[in-house]
Amino acid sequence: MTYVLEVFYSIVGSYGLSIVLLSLFMAIVSYPIVRLGLRAEQRHKDKVNLMSSELMEIKANFKGEKQFRRIERLYQKHNYHPIKSIFSAAGFMIQLPFLLAAMLMFLSYPPMEGVSFGPLNDLMGSDHLLPMGVNFLPFVMSGIAIFDAYQRPNLLSADRNKFILISVVLCVLVYSLPSAVIFYWICNNIWSLAFTIRAKYKT
């Protein structure tokens, strides 16, 4: 990723634009894998929908041990286990290693020290764009991710809530990270949203 970033910088002469291009490049390269994740999300949704009526009936008519045993048999019948709910966020989980790699790269990147881009005074520092020095980019990052979650037709409401919770937690965790990290993630979220909308209206 460092090599690709420097190639883009040698072409455009701007680290800010290079981050945008790197994010787009990684989104395109990883898209075939992400598509597999999205298909896994759809298969998970289909299976949950298939069981939903029986599951509601069991929960309405049985309690305690009887409910547990009947739900267990239902899961066995459909070859399902609750841990498979991780597939509801397969697309995100596949992208996560790329996001972490970008974070590790931008946490300490001397060539960007003191380099500005648009309203960002220092790509290696926090943005402090809001009054009293409050950072703005983390909220943009999470806002785009949450909007993306509402655009995904294959997400069940419970899974969407988990996705939103993850976005909020990430906002807190990355709040003080360098602007370059969060700006990269914002770009990544924008491409993800674009792919989601394209898939939504294509179907």
Contacts of 47 (CB under 8 A, 6+ apart): 78, 80
Q: CA-CA distance, 177 to 39, in Å (whole number)?
A: 33
Q: CA-CA distance, 103 to 151, in Å (whole number)?
A: 26
Q: CA-CA distance, 43 to 55, in Å (whole number)?
A: 18
From the number of C-beta atoms within 10 Å of its C-beta (0-12, 13-18, 19+), residue 3 rates as: exposed
Tokens of 8: 């883009």
> In the block, which residue shows the tokens 């298939």?
50
> H helices of 62-118, where?
64-77, 90-107
With beta carbons less than 8 A apart as the criterion, state whether 44 and 85 touch.
yes
In this predicted structure, what is the pLDDT of residue 89? 59
In this predicted structure, what is the pLDDT of residue 154? 63
pLDDT tens string for the chain (203 positions)?
A: 899 999 999 999 999 999 999 999 998 888 787 777 667 766 767 777 777 777 788 888 878 887 878 878 877 777 776 655 555 555 566 677 888 888 889 988 899 999 999 999 999 999 999 999 999 999 999 999 888 888 876 666 777 787 788 888 889 988 999 999 999 999 988 988 887 787 666 65
With beta carbons less than 8 A apart as the criterion, state whether 69 and 53 touch.
no
In this predicted structure, what is the pLDDT of residue 36? 74
In this predicted structure, what is the pLDDT of residue 117? 94
Q: Any idea what DSSP says for residue 108?
A: S
